[in-house]
Amino acid sequence: MSDVPEQPLRSGEHRYWLTTSDGIGIDAVLLRGAEARTTAVVLANGFTGTHRNPYTRTIAETMYAVGDVMTFDFRGHHGSEGRSTVGNAEIHDLEAVLTRLRELGYERVVTVGFSMGAAVVIRHAAIFGGVDAVVAVSGPSRWFYRGTRPMRLLHVGVGGRVGRFFLRTFRKVRVIDRRWSTRPAEPREIAGEISPAPLLVVHGDSDAYFPTSHATAIHSAARAPKDLWIVPGMGHAERAVEPALAERMRDWIAGWLRHAPES
């Protein structure tokens, strides 16, 4: 969850209003320069995150070295419409982003997700495909995990009226008030469907939300090509990504793109 101030648009950032296949409006921003490029990187925030988050924007600036960067607010979050389903219907938000990038002429797209966003990029790549590489940072391997205090508090927040009021009032996040009617496949159940796109799983050994067993479960379930980085001292999601780690992820993406054929 994010408790940092939101930042306004800056030079080189272009606002887009996208519509998902189920009719939800998504607030998105594309970081691009004057010169046309054919590669884009998509950043998918964690629960309560936003494209205005300075941590997300710092990572976006690092990723800009390999392509233009689109960030967005998931449904129910901040400037987007609808209500959050906490990782289920959000795959349609991500597909709306990829659809617009293809319309803009991007031939190669890499998705990078954090926490809830990590689960979304895995599920999206497995179900929709159409991506050239996937990076999942601090993601859960299974649903309804309550093994840590932050996750127990999170379940109280999304599962009760008072918690949802707090999220709506103080976090600008609107959450559905009902359970999933059909449980979606868990990241560990569906990671094997991502191939042939390479998958990088990144997780901190000091993550207070999900222990490293979640990362190893996803990595074990995935097909090659795949990589697993357990980062010493790293905490959770966007705010835990130090500049050196962002650069390392950028270089991993660049290395795969150099060997990937143009779409």
Q: In what order do the strands lie in the sheet with 108-114?
A: 13-19, 25-31, 68-72, 39-44, 108-114, 133-137, 199-204, 226-231
Token pair recorded at residue 179: 């359970």
Q: Provide the pLDDT confidence category of residue 7 given band limits of 50, 70 and 90.
A: low
Contacts of 181 (CB under 8 A, 6+ apart): none
Amino acid at 163: G
Q: Provide the pLDDT confidence category of residue 1 given band limits of 50, 70 and 90.
A: very low
**pTM exceeding the 0.75 threshold for the entire prediction:** yes
- Looking from the CA of 254 toward its CB, the CA atoms found within 13 Å total 13
Q: Would the pLDDT of 8 be above 70?
A: no
How confident is the model at residue 166, as a pLDDT?
Answer: 84
Name which residue leads in pLDDT, 242 or 172: 242
Ordered DSSP codes for 140-194: -SSSS--SSHHHHHHHHHHHSHHHHHHHHHHS-B-B-SS--SSPPPPHHHHGGGS
How confident is the model at residue 11, as a pLDDT?
Answer: 62
Q: Which of 28, 21, 62, 65 is nearest to 45 (CA)?
A: 28
Q: In the predicted model, what is the mean pLDDT of residues 16-27? A: 97
In this structure, are strands 199-204 and 226-231 parallel, antiparallel, or unpaired? Answer: parallel
In this structure, are strands 13-19 and 25-31 parallel, antiparallel, or unpaired? Answer: antiparallel
- Report the alpha-carbon distance of residue 144 to residue 109 in Å, rounded: 30
pLDDT tens readout for residues 160-215? 888 888 888 888 899 998 888 889 999 999 999 998 999 999 999 999 999 999 99
Q: Which of 230, 236, 232 is nearest to 218 (CA)?
A: 230
State phi, psi for 144 to the nearest 5 degrees: 60, 25
The yes or no reply on domain 13-258 and CATH 3.40.50.1820 is: yes
Q: Would the pLDDT of 50 be above 50?
A: yes
Q: Would the pLDDT of 155 be above 70?
A: yes
Token pair recorded at residue 39: 């590669």
How confident is the model at residue 10, as a pLDDT?
Answer: 62
Domain parsing of the chain, residue ranges: 13-258
